[in-house]
Amino acid sequence: MTLEARPAFMNKPSSDNSRHQTSIEFRLTPMLLIAALALPANAQLVIKLSSQTVSEFDHYASSVESQKEERWHGRKNFLYVEDDAANKARVLNGEVFIKQMNDGRPVSITDGLIHDWSGAIFIPNTTVERVVSALEDFDNHKKFYPAVTESKTVRHQGNEVTGYWRLQQKGLVPVILDVEDSVRYEKLSPGKWKGEAFARDIREVDTGLFSRGRKFPAGEGHGYLWGLNGYWTLESVNGGVLAECRSLSLSRDIPQGLAWAVAPYVQKMPQESLASTLKVTREAVAARP
């Protein structure tokens, strides 16, 4: 090393003022070092979403939609959680069921990862219609969902609702996303509904030190969330509703050497987001007049 850093306790200041200045410098040095190191790493993380990545995500989503159609139209158990009687019993007793599909790992595609999770929860003393009403109520999502700091209904046409969320994830590197989401729910038979939700537009807000909150162009950013599909299956059971959601999200792959910055978001966020969505939906339904 060409420079030697001398800890504060090794200095011999000649006055109180110099002791105070040395103490401040000692405390600031590691903070400035972290900031300096973060700047080039942050620049490396900014990428563009490729059409190949989108195509492979859409292909995977189509296969999941075919699986859901089999259940929705009676060729398999209506709910995935019904495939295991023990899992269904635990959910009816108040537990939250969460499982990562694809043998418990993300699906690797060109320059990206698909995170495929299924979750279920029992919402007592309610109807499917009340659950659908809560899920469609974008104006009030900001009051219930912790990650949603702003929300509103953009338009409501027939049984399709489009809404806006500002999502915020705190951490070493904060993440802010503006998302436009379109949802459609359909009654299949008495007490049985399906729902499909697609994030049509996801824009990342640059949280860099000198960015002043600018938005990245569509398909550009750090790639924490490129795509988000949700498939809901709702059934009236035991005086309440079994609510199940299959969640597909698309993120960038994890670059070598930068897992410390990317992995906590692209690996933990999908699971935590789905678990939170299920729990808070139950609370939101209970709070509705």
Section 197-208 average pLDDT = 92
Residue 213, pLDDT above cutoff 60: yes
Predicted confidence band of residue 267 (pLDDT cuts 50, 70, 90)? low
Please report, for the chain, how many H helices and E strands are present, in that order: 7, 11
Tokens linked to 85? 């009687």
User: Under 8 Å CB-to-CB from 263, ≥6 apart: which residues?
Assistant: 254
Q: Residues 126-137: pLDDT tens digits? A: 999 999 999 999
Closest CA to 278 of 118, 139, 143: 118
pLDDT of the residue at 205: 94
Q: Residues 9-58: pLDDT tens digits? A: 334 444 455 444 433 333 333 333 333 333 344 545 789 999 999 999 99
Please state the separation of Cα 9 from the chain's center in Å.
46
Question: Cα separations (Å) of 28 from 8, 18, 35, 40?
Answer: 12, 15, 11, 20
Predicted confidence band of residue 272 (pLDDT cuts 50, 70, 90)? confident
Section 87-97 average pLDDT = 97
Backbone angles phi, psi at 117, to 5 degrees: -130, 145
Q: Tell me the residue ranges of DSSP E strands in the chain.
A: 47-48, 97-100, 107-109, 112-123, 148-157, 160-169, 175-189, 192-205, 220-221, 227-237, 240-252
Q: Is the separation of the CB atoms in 246 and 212 below 8 Å?
A: no
A 10 A CB-CB count for 201 gives 12
Backbone angles phi, psi at 94, to 5 degrees: 110, -5
69 or 254, higher pLDDT: 69
A 10 A CB-CB count for 25 gives 12
pLDDT of the residue at 212: 72
Q: Residues 118-167: pLDDT tens digits? A: 999 999 999 999 999 999 999 999 999 999 999 999 999 999 999 999 99
From CA 14, how far away is CA 105, in angstroms rounded?
Answer: 60
pLDDT of the residue at 22: 36
pLDDT of the residue at 41: 45
Tokens linked to 71? 């259940």
From CA 187, how far away is CA 229, in angstroms rounded?
Answer: 19
Place of tokens 């059409």: 51
pLDDT of the residue at 255: 72
Predicted confidence band of residue 262 (pLDDT cuts 50, 70, 90)? low
Please compute, for residue 104, the number of CA atoms within 13 A of its CA located in the half-sphere on the CB side: 0
From CA 204, how far away is CA 208, in angstroms rounded?
Answer: 12
222 or 62, higher pLDDT: 62
Section 254-277 average pLDDT = 75
Instruction: Using a pLDDT cut of 70, give the percent of the chain over it.
Output: 80
Say which CATH topology domain 49-287 has. Answer: Alpha-D-Glucose-1,6-Bisphosphate; Chain A, domain 4 (3.30.530)
Residue ranges of the chain that CATH labels 3.30.530.20: 49-287
